[in-house]
Amino acid sequence: MKTVKELLSHHFCLWLLALLVANNTTMSTSEEYQTYIIHMDQSYKPASFSTHESWHRSTLASLSSSDTIYDEKTLLYSYNHAMHGFSARLTPSQLSELEKLQAHRATYPESYGKLFTTHTPKFLGLKHSSGIWPTASYGKDVIIGMIDTGIWPESNSFNDKGMSSIPGRWKGICENGTAFSPSLCNLKLIGARSFSKGYQAGGGNISTEFDYDSPRDCTGHGTHTSSTAAGSNVVGAGHFGYAMGTAQGIAPGAHLAMYKVLWAGGESDKSAASDVLAGMDQAIADGVDIISISLGFDEHTPYFNDVIAIASLSAIEKGIIVVCAAGNDGASNSTHNGAPWIITVGAGTVDRSFVGRLTLGNGLTIEGTSYFPLSILIRNAPLYYGENNISKATCAFSSLDPTEVSGKVVLCDYTGSDNSGQMEEVQRAGALGGIFSNDKFILEPEIYSMPALILQSRDGSLVKNYVMSTNSSMVKEMKFVITKLGIKPAPQVTDFSSRGPDPVNPGVLKPDILAPGQDVLAAVRADKPEMDMGMYTLATDYAIYSGTSMAAPHVAGVTALLKAVHQDWSPAAIRSAIMTTASSIDNTYSTITDQATELPATPLEFGAGHINPNKAMDPGLIYDIHFQDYVEFLCGLGYNNKQISAVIRRSQWSCRDNASDLNYPSFVVVVPKASIYPLVMNFTRVVTNIGDDDSIYQAVLDVPSGMRIQTEPNTLSFTGKGQQQGFTLSVEISEIDASVTYGYLKWVDQHNHVVSSPIVAITV
């Protein structure tokens, strides 16, 4: 794996190496030496020194506490670009003497990162010794087609060590193009194509300044999603010290094929619908088993105007599973890619967080969110707060006076928006660090170009009270690059994840499922700068991204595992298994909460619940759906012949006059606001036994206030696998006090199968 230091300039390489590599050597009989980075205030440099380095050497040579003679090896590096200061091997006594100097601003001791897993596989319960991973041979012989921005084939996540041979059904190729040749493909990456005719026809220009005219990834997005779905194991991956561990895809035994349809053109990335359609068309022709799509279009259009919906139904007809991201709109009625034949994925959190730790002069220690990429320590720094000036208190644009804040940690009040502007202002003014209050907005990792952390407002108030209670408030200690596991509650629905009801068809519950989508570590374009650090930029081959784009490939990976175990299952059967075994309970044994409100979420946010791959392998019963069922569904929507033909790509079809509702593993009662109560709606469903031959399932109902639910029959008996039983679910609504209310139908047998389906009533 390429290291960060291989990707940076020579001088910055030395700086980062000094910061991250341990250099503990016993140089004295009385005290041990340790490497520190010392941040100095350059304004104190005497004019007699022509360079910063000569000043730093003189400072070290003048230390009286040294019991050895200063030599050239004491000073490691002198810095005057990314920061002003130096790194040196010092004893505790020497460090103490240095920290008393007026010019001293902060101390950054060397540190070692404790290795953790990249965690989402573990959070999903995937184990090497038992469960779906070994049973599925990690997704062996399954092919996942990624519709995305391309791929960085040199990433270690796409090495083919231990991979099985390419399945004989594969018809795809690796095309030749700019900075990409067929030789870059292997047993892991078995196909790579790009589609840009629509983009170029619309005026797009594929310039080497912004992108590659080939399947090579420019932005890193496609590389990230691909490695999440099926990346090979890579030891020692991490995001600048955060989330250190072994990076691995959900189905590391599966093959990958990339279909590049999204292009970088300077100000924004663009994807033409014609190119998306061409990519999906080629994926189907090539013989993929799964199509994963982490993109969508802004407009919510009927299925007959939605190229992703249309192409997906064609894929489903050929037995190909289609998994799509629900979108990042973060609002109700905003889900994308909601056609009922698509597995639509929302984003959840995991039980891991990245923090900075703050200790105040009064001894109070508080943790806040931080992605600052250097393991530094700020110690005994003055704390600044512009309490008598609103602009300064909120760190408004051009409000801070550098002479007032230089060398200090600045506290900024919450303004009701994200903190990126405040961070820019604090950095502009030359502050040592920043503390920001915010309950809702989490900044992207690349924004943390200075030592900074974001506190919950209640913790921000504690800091504010402290700084206002004394004239000599101090930050005793401020440290970074801390990864914490076991965070509760988790999972939560992320604040950015799009919510239902689905704007195209509220009668189908969307999203279907929740999967990890926040702070996901995966491979990226190795030579693309991830963030700026002063005059320098940092690059990495693994990075933390967030979005439903990250959630969808998790589910694509799970479907690959299920496909490997159950090769005869239809796409609908696999979706049913995923949905009916999902959990709506978090790690505090409470209902999954909404990150945005900290209140209990509903199936409009989390669908059937959070995905559980091991349980999905043995769901007991499935709700299967065939192509004709989707045709009947479209007939029931009131589409005319031309519109139906556009979706199913046929000129002739048949529909029953009394077409039943879709055999979906969830139930939605759409209640018009002018309804007269009580309102009754009946659903018919057919379930197929894929569990034990002799199984008796009993209906267990979780009924909310204002709703009455009955099943007929309430017991389903099976004597063999493949047997089907039908039932009717009757929902009576007496009243709805809120815009949504929900309960559950759970079919429970004597073999510990629990087949769970949400029953949701919504007002529209």
Q: Which residues are catalytic?
A: 148, 221, 549
Q: 524, 253 in Cβ contact below 8 A?
A: no
The number of helix segments (H) and strand segments (E) in the chain equals 19, 37
- E strand or H helix at 360, and its extent? strand 352-360
Q: Which amino acid is at 712?
A: E
**Pairing state of beta strands 321-325 and 343-348?**
parallel
**Helix or strand holding residue 727 (H, E):** strand 724-733
> Cα torsion at 153, 158, 160, 162 (round to 10°)?
180
In the numeric block, the tokens 């075994």 are attached to: 581
* C-alpha to C-alpha distance for 2 and 244, rounded to whole angstroms: 15
Other residues' Cβ atoms within 10 Å of the Cβ of residue 422: 27
Query: DSSP per residue over 73-128, as a string?
Result: TTEEEEEESSSEEEEEEE-HHHHHHHHTSTTEEEEEE---PPP----HHHHTT--S
At 402, list the tokens: 């550098």
CA distance 528 to 530: 6
345: nearest Cα among 354, 336, 353, 356: 336
- Alpha-carbon Rg for the chain in angstroms: 29
d(CA 660, CA 686): 11
- 599 burial (CB, 10 Å; 0-12 / 13-18 / 19+) is exposed
CA quadruple 109, 114, 117, 122: dihedral, nearest 10 = -120
* Cβ neighbours for 81, distance < 8 A, ≥ 6 positions apart: 11, 12, 534, 535, 536
